[in-house]
Structures are given as C-alpha cells and as structure tokens.
Amino acid sequence: MSLINFIYMKKFIKYFANLKFAIFLLLLIAFFSSLGSIIEQDKSIEFYKNTYKSLFFNKPIWTYFDYLGLTHIYSCWWFYFLLLIFGITLLSCTFFQQFPVLKFARRYYFYTYKSQFNKLNYKFNFKLFYSSQLCYQLINNNYSICQRQTGFYGYKGLIGRIGPVIVHLSIILILIGSILGAVEGFTAQEFIPKSEIFHIQNLVKIGNLAKVRQQTFRINEFWINFNKLGLIKQFYTDISILSGNGYEIKRKTISVNNPFLFKELTIYQTDWGILGIRIKVSNTTKIVQLPVFKSSNQSSKLWVSWFPINISKNQGFILVINTAQGKIDLYDQQVRFIQTLSLGQILNFNNDISIKLIELIFSTGLQIKSDPGIKIIYVGFVSLIVSSFISYGSFSEFWLLEFNSIGIFGGKTNRDKVKFNIEMAKIEKAFNN
C-alpha cells in the first residue's frame, strides 16, 4: 500500500512540473507584490478608513482590502501559500526535468546509422584519412571526445546544463529566506534621548513565530551636521550594546545608510526629534525642563511648548521650535511674535524675570530590524546571478561515423547556433580543401 501511495504521490508532484503553470504562478506573485507597493501596507485601520472611503457595491473599499488581506499582503496566509506552491513547482521541475536532462547529457552515446545525422543542425562528409586530424582540431576547440570502433562522440559546455538547476535552487533559497524572515522577523521603531538606556519595546511589525530578544542598548550621543545653507546634511547616533551586567559589548556611530549590525539585529538611523527644552530662570541656578508637543502633521518638523510666567493668572509664552539649529521662536498669548531665542541667549520680561535657553533635548529615531532569513536570501541571490551567467553557456555535441572509406560528421547546440555554425564551417573548410 505504501508503494502505491508513493507512486500516486510522485504522479501528483509531476503535475506541478509544468512551465506554463510556473509562469502563471510567477505572474500572480508579481501582481500581488506590485499591488502591495500601491496599497499602503501594515497601517492602522483608521488610516484605511480615512484613505479609502469610496463605495463599491454599497460598501467602502477599505472593507474589501481588510477582508482579502490586501493591507498586509506580504504576511498573509494566501501569499505564503502562493510562494509554497511556486517552490514546489520549481522543485518538481528540477527533479523531474532538469536532473534527467543533466544525467542524459553526461551519457556517451554513438550514432550507428546515416539517418541519425538528418536531425542535426550541421553535418558534412569527409575522407576517413582525415578523421584523426579532425578529432585533434576538435580537442583544440575544447571538446571532450570518446572513441568507438565505428566513430566518435564529443561534447563541450556541460556546465551550461548545470546552470538551470542552480537557478531553480537559488530561487527556492530566496523563497525560503523570505518566508523565514516574514514569520520569524520583526521591526521596531524607537525614539530615545541621548544618555538613555533602553530595550526593544515599540514593535511595528512582528512575525507569527518571532521571538524578541531583550537586548540592552545605550545612546551615548546624538548630533546633527548642517550644510552651508543651514539644511540638515546628516545626523548621527553613537550607540552601545550592553551585556546583562551593564558592560559594553560593542559600540558604533551610525548614520543614514550606515547601520549597526549585531548578530541577527540591524539598527538603522531613520529620524530625529525633540523631547524637551531646558531653560534657566532669572539669575538663579534653577533650570526648568519643559516638555514639547509635536505637530499632528507627521511630515512636518514643528514642536510647541508653553512657558508659564504667572500660573494663577494663566499667563505665559508660547515656544515654537521648527529647526534643529538651537533656536526657538517666542509668541505671546495672542500668538504675536516676540523674539527668536538662540542657545545661551537671555531674554528679560519686564525686568522681573529673565530666561536663558540652555539646551534642546534631542531624541534619535532608530529602526531595529531582525530578519533571520536575510543570509539565506543573500546566498540565493549570489548563486542566482552566477547561475544565470552559467546558463548562457551553450552545450554543443558532435558525432562522427565511419563507413566505406567515408566519414560523416555532424553536430548540434542548444544556444549560440550562429557561432556554432561558423565553427563547424571552418572545420569543414579546413578538411575538405
């Protein structure tokens, strides 16, 4: 019974070794991948409610997106299922088509009849006196030759037959790495002020089987560089990774496009922000730390705070920050501009009170990502590139049959037929002159 089941299973898997079906699956995966780049992924439900309000069959479009999983395509079960079926198709094609072709290409088989030469791309007749010279010429052209009493068989470019097999296995590696990264990986976003110690907490994306490692980090310093026009050129974070006892394991200064790699974690510099303002009041040593509130417009860099002068009368000033260059704009309660205050500058109010801007408390925006499948993906892409070049190599064969003092020579190739015909024509001309 087990043997019968194995036979039926083998026949079932063979159905997947279909080129048209594989192309259909590839186009389907490409379509949904493109759709995922058009529809914003992994946003809050409120975002889709506000963005896709149009009605379709008396229902908002966002309800269909949510039901079909189009809001998280790359982590949806049916997308994994498509990748799985595509991987099975590639494996079936590899084992039931590519490996048999490779095995057959390694066999030495000889022609025994003149009629067998009729199906070849190129053939010609010559005198047997030149058969040894002909074989010598072919050896100089990198052909491997096998001899039998009635003739010869030769080939070159066998590595070109290996290329398609490696291409299929490379794509399978990429699929495995992508699925592994999706189900076991995670992405976190953190805004941390300098000198603070933190752990991974604010997860924005996490796989179903992911395990968040509680690694300890410390922000040693954060600073911003400006160009001649006063615009932000680059921002940097000096970050340390600590052991459970507080000892520094590794340290690096990261910037945009210069991440920090530590085991399976990658730390990217993504953004910056302002958490507060430190102000010295009057001529005392008292320093007040004021919180700031970011504008609701996520694309803008604007923070607002309130400095109270008389709490009982609810009097004070509005502080506005719209630059990282250490300047704040002061407004009164009627939102009338008073003055721009720079770091270290003192502002007097009616000779009763004065304030001095001491510091803007910056925070660094970090993205911490774990992708266990990334190394597998890299190996898959490297082997895919190499195997793609190998696949362009042509596999050429020739046969030589001797009878009645005459020899018949012929050959064929699977690629670059023009070059092959030119090569054969030169050999024919050399031995028939």
Q: Buried (b) or exposed (e) across 9-37, using 16+ Cβ within 10 A?
A: eeeeeeebbeeebbeebeeebeebeeebe
Residues 10, 87: one domain? Answer: yes
The segments of the chain whose pLDDT lies below 50 read 1
Please give the Cα distance from 308 to 117 (Å, whole number): 100
Q: Is residue 107 part of a domain?
A: no
Residues 223, 95: one domain? Answer: no
Residues 137, 199: one domain? Answer: no
Please give the Cα distance from 83 to 366 (Å, whole number): 31
Q: Is residue 253 part of a domain?
A: yes
**C-alpha of 165 from chain center:** 23
Residues 14, 78: one domain? Answer: yes
Q: Is residue 308 part of a domain?
A: yes
CATH number for the domain harbouring residue 151: 3.30.310
pLDDT tens for each residue of 321-371 = 888 888 888 888 888 888 888 888 888 766 667 788 888 888 999 999 998
The predicted structure's pLDDT at residue 367: 93
pTM over 0.75: no
Residues 268, 283: one domain? Answer: no
How many CB atoms neighbour CB 338 within 10 A?
Answer: 13
Q: Is residue 163 part of a domain?
A: no
Residues 195, 253: one domain? Answer: yes
Please give the Cα distance from 303 to 234 (Å, whole number): 20
Domain total of the chain: 4
pLDDT tens for each residue of 35-57 = 888 888 878 788 888 888 877 77
Residues 191, 50: one domain? Answer: no
The predicted structure's pLDDT at residue 1: 47
Find the domain containing 325 and state its range: 274-364
Element (H, E) at 205: strand 203-206
Residues 267, 344: one domain? Answer: no
Please give the Cα distance from 402 to 26 (Å, whole number): 49
Q: Which of 193, 359, 364 is nearest to 289 (CA)?
A: 359
Please give the Cα distance from 235 to 294 (Å, whole number): 19
Structure tokens belonging to residue 365 = 């925006």
Q: Which residues pair with 251 in a beta bridge?
A: 240
Q: Is residue 172 part of a domain?
A: no
The predicted structure's pLDDT at residue 332: 83
CA–CA distances in Å: residue 91 to residues 18, 39, 87, 102: 11, 32, 6, 15
Q: Phi/psi zone of residue 261: left (φ > 0), alpha (ψ -120 to 50 degrees), beta?
A: beta
In three-state secondary structure terms, 324 is coil
Structure tokens belonging to residue 126 = 């010559």
